[in-house]
Every structure is written in C-alpha cells, then in structure tokens.
Amino acid sequence: MPGVEVLGSHMAYTEAGVGGPPVVFLHGNPTSSHLWRDVVPHVADRRRTLAPDLIGMGASGKPDIGYRFADHARYLDAWFEALDLGEVVLVGHDWGGALAMDRAARHPGRVRGLVLVETFLRPQTWAELGPDVADWFRSLRTPGLGETLVLEHNVFIEGGGLTSEFSTRKGIAEEDLAVYRAPYPDAASRRPLLQWPREAPFDGEPADVAARFDAYGRWLAGSPEVPKLLLTVEPQVGIASPEVVAWAAETVADLDIEPVGPAGHHAPEDQPDAIGRAIARWLDRTA
C-alpha cells in the first residue's frame, strides 16, 4: 500500500482508476480503507479513486497526539496537500463522512460532490438515540470503563463494534476481520478507537466538535452548487434515524437520497455493490 509523509508521520492509502476529478473514500471507526474494497471497483472504471487510512488507523502512522476530531482533520488536510489532489468528490462513512463535510465547509472550492452513508449529519441529543445506541456511547465515554472496554478488551474489533447485528447484517469474514484487527495489537495502539466515540457531540458536548458540525450543517444548507448523495439503509437507526434523514431532506441543498437495502451501520460491508452502483450512477448524472 502506498503512503505519503504528513506532519512528521505517514498516511497510507489505496489508489485505482484514472481520469476526472478524483473520488476520495473516507472510512470511520474502527475500520480502514479496507472498508471500501468492494465499493471502489464500481467507480474506478470512471474516475481516479483514493482511499486513505486515517491517522492512527489501518496502515497509517500512530503519532503521539490526542486523536481528536481536529487532529484527524489536520492530518487529512496535510494528506490532500501532499498529493496535490485539487478538486475532489468526497465519499464518507461514519466519521469519514463527518470529516468529509468538515473539509467541504472549510475548503468549499475544492469539493465537486459529496456522498454520505451512515454518518453524523448534524449534532444530536442523547434523547434522539435509541436506548441501545445511547448505552453503547455512554459506556465508551465513561472514564475507566471506556478504557477497559476498548483498550483492554478491544470491543470495537472483537465485540459489538464490528460483528454485532447492529454493525453488519451478514457478518464479516474472518480474513477481513483480521485486516481490521492487525493495526491494534495492544492497548496503546487502540487509543484512536477509544477517542472517536468521545468526540461525538450529544447535547452540545464536546463543544468544539459540535461547533464544527454546526459549521458544516450551514455549508450543507447553503451550497446548491455542490451535488450531494445520501445513501440510507434499512432499518434506519442511531445516527441515521428517520428523523435525521427527514431533516437532511428538508435542509441540505441539492441532495439526492437513495436507499441501498438492508444493512447494519457498517453498510459498505453489507451492501458494497448497491453502494458502488449508486455512486456510479450519481457520478454519471452529476458529471
């Protein structure tokens, strides 16, 4: 896997396809660019595609940083600059979607299109989450308990983080789970996984992340020149609830919404072909 030096560390990425504005695929927690392995082929016959491993994740470096949302955005910015990508189409899942929207809001002239699936479209309240999702987030955000669950027991890989029915309807093959497991052999290596659930802004906290979500919400509403695609799964729960999807339909400028069928939160594992085909069709419509 190729890589590039960024801010004293390095970020790995996959690359395929040729021509046109690049399409950049951004993963979330606890995955890596491997998440997009069966989605990218549907797009690579049309465009150059790139899929980085976020800093601290996958095959990328693990510098001694806090792994806050702002840290990830800073390293991702450096990756874009190092590769001189110019204008791109961004595709984001989970935290990759939040980072995509954040970058679009901060660099509005450098985003040609935006595709989102199972991501944080806006700040939410605890009351909006289903009880199981709320309990999961609260446990991971509790000092001591979160460390035990993630750093010691590696629950994101070995427990409900990837293999529960909420995460994937069809499960993950052992060889793919091994790819996700490999970057996190010990407690220290898992700190990026633990920080992510502590960054999600519920009831306005943490305030700095909520402010960035609010900023990209304003951009989503005020950017009719940038086509956007929201891919939804069945059933809609958690961060992509029917209420949030309805908010997006009413608020986001130039938005297409397309269902991709039954899937868990890690929808590219369950429905890679449906997602890939939907992105390819949308690229053809909006070229």
Q: Phi and psi dihedrals of 278, rounded to 5?
A: -65, -40
Q: In 10 A of CB 202, how many CB atoms? A: 18
Task: Please tell me the distance from the alpha carbon of residue 56 to that of residue 4, in angstroms, as a whole number.
Answer: 14
Contacts with 189 (C-beta within 8 Å, 6 or more apart), sequence order: 62, 183
Task: Judge whether 102 counts as a catalytic residue.
Answer: no
Candidates 27, 42, 93, 94; catalytic one: 94
Handedness of CA 177, 53, 238, 205 (dihedral sign): positive
> Helices marked H in the chain — which ranges?
41-44, 69-83, 95-106, 131-141, 145-146, 155-158, 160-163, 174-181, 191-199, 207-221, 242-251, 267-270, 272-286
Candidates 10, 27, 34, 265; catalytic one: 265
Task: Judge whether 118 counts as a catalytic residue.
Answer: yes
Token duo for residue 280: 């390819």
Q: In 10 A of CB 185, how many CB atoms? A: 10
Residue pair 199/151 in contact by the 8 Å Cβ criterion: no
Residue pair 117/267 in contact by the 8 Å Cβ criterion: yes
Task: Judge whether 42 counts as a catalytic residue.
Answer: no
What pairs with residue 230 in β-bridges?
Answer: 116, 257
Q: Tell me the catalytic residues.
A: 94, 118, 265
